[in-house]
Structure formats: C-alpha cells, structure tokens
Amino acid sequence: MKLSLGSLLAFTSSLTLPVISRSSSVIIPPTIQNGSTISQYISSSYRLDDSKVLNINSTVFGEVWYFDVVSSKSPDHALVVAFLASATDSGYASSTAVSSILSAQVAVRAGNNIYAEANLANYAELQTLGIGTSGFWNGTGCSFSASKDLSRMTIDLSDPFDITGSIILESIAPPHLPCSPNEIGANMEFAPGFGWVNAVPYAKTTVDLRINDTTVQFVGNGYHDLAWGDTIFSETLPNYLWARGTLGPYSMVLLVGVDASGVQRTSGYISRDGKILGTPCSGVNVAVEFADKNSTTGPVKDFTVEIPIENDLFFKAYITAIAILVDTDPRYHGMGFISGGIKGGDLNYNGTASFEYSQPLASFQT
C-alpha cells in the first residue's frame, strides 16, 4: 500500500511540548526516508511508548516495541513479540521481503518446540490515551493496546498471522528510565545514540495462542520496553547483556554493555511489591560464566548480578541459562531460573528470568 505521507511521521494532534512526546496519534510510513534521523533522549512526557524517532533512514536502528513472557513454572515456555520500525536487522524472526521497515515478529518456545513468524506492515499507527499507547501494524494482523494508566496491556495476533491469540499483561512493577524512575526531564539515553525506557518491568501475564493445530497456554511474568536509536545498534553496543526476572516479591531489570568508545555502561532496577528500591547506573556489577563450546543453552552458562539499592544495601541475583529461544549468533535470547535477594539477608527467593546478550564480557562494572 502506498501512503501519501511526507518524509516525516504524520503527527495529528495540536502540540505545545516537543512533538515526539505529546502526539496522541502518529502514523509511521513503511519506507526508508531520506535525510537525517532525529531522536528524542530527554523525557518530556510520562508516555513512555510514544514514538521517539523521526525520519528513519537506512543507517539507523529505528524503534522496537518489545514484549517478552516466560512461564512462572518452567523457563522452556516463553515468547518474544516485537513491533519494529527499523531498516536494520534488529528483529527476532526472518522477514521474507524488505519492502517495509515495519514488521511484527513473534517467536514462541513450548517445551522442545520453537515457532517463529514475521509479517511486514503497510504502515503503523500509534494512538495514545492517558499514559498508555496502543500500536497497530496494519496488514500484519498484530497489534498491542494499553489502558490509559498503563496498568494493562494486550497483544492481539490474528489472521493473516499464522500465530494467533492473545497475551494479556497486568502490570505490577512501576516503570523506569535507564537511571531514574519515570520522570519528566530525565535522561533516556543509555549509550550515545541508543535510548531505552522500560514501561512494564514486571506483569502477571496470561498467554493463549494457537499455532497451526497446537494450543500454547501458560501463565508467566511479562515485560515490555521500548528501544530506539539513530545509529546502528550493533555498532552502538557491540557487547551487551540484558536480563530481567521475578523472584518472590522482587523484580529485577539489568542492562549492561560496552559502547562504541569502549566505555562500560550499566543500568539496574529493583522493585519490591510494586515499590522501586533502586534505579542505579553506577555500582552495578555483573560476572559472567561461559558455557562449554558445544552447549545447547548458548555461550553463557550463568551470571551473577549485584545492584545497589536504598539504604546502602545491595540486591544480589544468580541467573542460570536453561533454554534458548532465539539464536542469531552472536545474539542470543534465552530463559532460565533466577535466585537471590538482599545481600547479607534472605537470598532464597526463586523465580524465572529471560535474558539477551551479544558477545558479553566476563564482567561488567561501573
């Protein structure tokens, strides 16, 4: 479908603050644009899922609205859903054509079976009400919707997508930016040219999917973030490790990496029973233990995380890789078990986690 759109996104509401953060309706065209890409890295709204990029050209990361779920009982039941506006290879399933920068991508693991599907969109539309943003990738059969207070999100997958059904996230943990809670005027740039905000660090999630003649149903912990950039991601963060998990009353999110200049970057997040305990970008330590060469769970065997929180305490977690969902060497996305708690206190909380990495270092420390 040809769209009569200009070279920029079509913003359709009246604006008094920067257009990227205040738009209530946005159309993203499917074609690569000419000229420079413009990105927003300082928060000017509580609407974390608003589009942050104008004029996506052929040399930039663009934007990815990312969701994942891992079963609360078994890490070998999990999924990833990604809504992309990207001209570069940043997805989780292979597209069959390159006629659109817009795609909806899904990868599902159910025991030993892995399913993946990707469809290209004619255009994408983002609609914001309150602080919740809904996205429709036209022509794919895929969309996500949010309540105005962001307490509930629903992903709908329908024909012509081969994987159909719904994923419902009931948010528990408060959102955050790389180094702070969700605050206006705060920095959203994790590394030069790469922005990241975490709208849903943890949600009680129900999965109900049909894949061919197979039904995939499970209850788990869900997650949602938005990543964007005006550089190529693999050049911006050539070495990185992301992880998140829920254990007992705690939710943890971690992003660490080495940027293009060789500078280590870290971001940690801990909440308990819906209250944020820490969002530090310093004092975060990660130690990675690598697996044997022929490992079926990827190059990383396990890793230990320490994140400083309030009252000069540390949260410590240990994540063990159990299964891999996406293997696009050198990038891996997998799931595992997580255990831990407050260092020096009760470390016996347990749960499930998901993680992603590309050529991680043996340790990250800031």
pLDDT at 341 over 50: yes
- CATH of region 237-366: 2.40.370
What's the rounded mean pLDDT across residues 306-335? Answer: 96
* CA 197 to chain CA mean position, Å: 8
| Same fold: 1-234 with 237-366 | yes
Cα-to-chain-centroid distance, residue 130: 21
Report CA-CA distances (Å) from 234 to 142, 188, 195.
27, 19, 14
Asked whether the predicted pLDDT for residue 16 surpasses 50, the reply is no
Question: HEC states along the chain?
Answer: CCCCCCCCCEECCCCCCCHHHHCCEEEECCCCCCCCCEECCECCCCCCCCCCEECCCCCCCEEEEEEEEEECCCCCEEEEEEEEECCCCCCCCCCCCCCCCEEEEEEEEECCEEEEEEEECCEEEEEEECCEEEEEEECCCEEEEECCCCCEEEEEECCCCCEEEEEEEEECCCCEECCEECCCCCECEEECCEEEEEEEEEEEEEEEEEECCEEEEEEEEEEEEEEEECCCHHHHCCEEEEEEEEECCEEEEEEEEECCCCCEEEEEEEEECCEEEECCCCCCEEEEEECCCCCCCCCEEEEEEEEEEHHHEEEEEEEEEEEEEEEECCEEEEEEEEEEEECCCCCCEEEEEEEEEECCCCEEEC
The answer to whether residues 123 and 104 touch, using CB atoms and an 8 Å cutoff, is: no
pLDDT on residue 103? 95
**Average pLDDT, stretch 287-301?**
95
Q: How many residues does the chain have?
A: 366
% residues pLDDT > 90 (the chain): 85
Q: Given this model, what pLDDT does residue 43 score?
A: 97
Q: Does residue 109 carry a pLDDT above 50?
A: yes
Q: Is the confidence at residue 184, as pLDDT, over 70?
A: yes
Peptide bond into 280 cis (omega under 30): no
Confidence of residue 93 (pLDDT cuts 50, 70, 90): low
Q: How far apart are CA 229 and CA 141, in angstroms?
A: 26
- Residue 91 has a pLDDT of 60
CB atoms within 10 A of CB 219: 15
Q: Is the peptide bond before 30 cis (omega within 30 degrees of 0)?
A: no
88 pLDDT band, cuts 50/70/90, is: confident
Q: Is the pLDDT of residue 97 over 50?
A: no
Mean pLDDT, residues 42-49 taken together: 96
Enumerate the domain spans of the chain. 1-234, 237-366
pLDDT in tens, 190-215: 999 999 999 999 999 999 999 999 99
- The CA distance from 219 to 324, in Å, is 19
> How far apart (Å, rounded) are the C-alpha atoms in residues 162 and 4?
30
Comparing 92-106, 107-121, 169-183, 274-288, the range with the smallest average pLDDT is: 92-106
The pLDDT, as a whole number, for residue 96 is 42
pLDDT at residue 262 above 80?
A: yes
Reported as a pLDDT band with limits 50, 70 and 90, residue 6 is very low
Query: Are 120 and 50 contacting, i.e. CB atoms less than 8 angstroms apart?
Result: no
Position 170 pLDDT exceeds 90 = yes
pLDDT of residue 11: 30
pLDDT of 181 higher than 60: yes
User: What value does the mean pLDDT of the chain take?
Assistant: 91
Q: Which CATH number fits domain 1-234: 3.40.630.30, 2.40.370.10, 3.20.20.70, 1.10.287.90?
A: 2.40.370.10
User: By the 8 A CB rule, do 142 and 118 touch?
Assistant: no
Mean pLDDT of the 107-135 span: 97
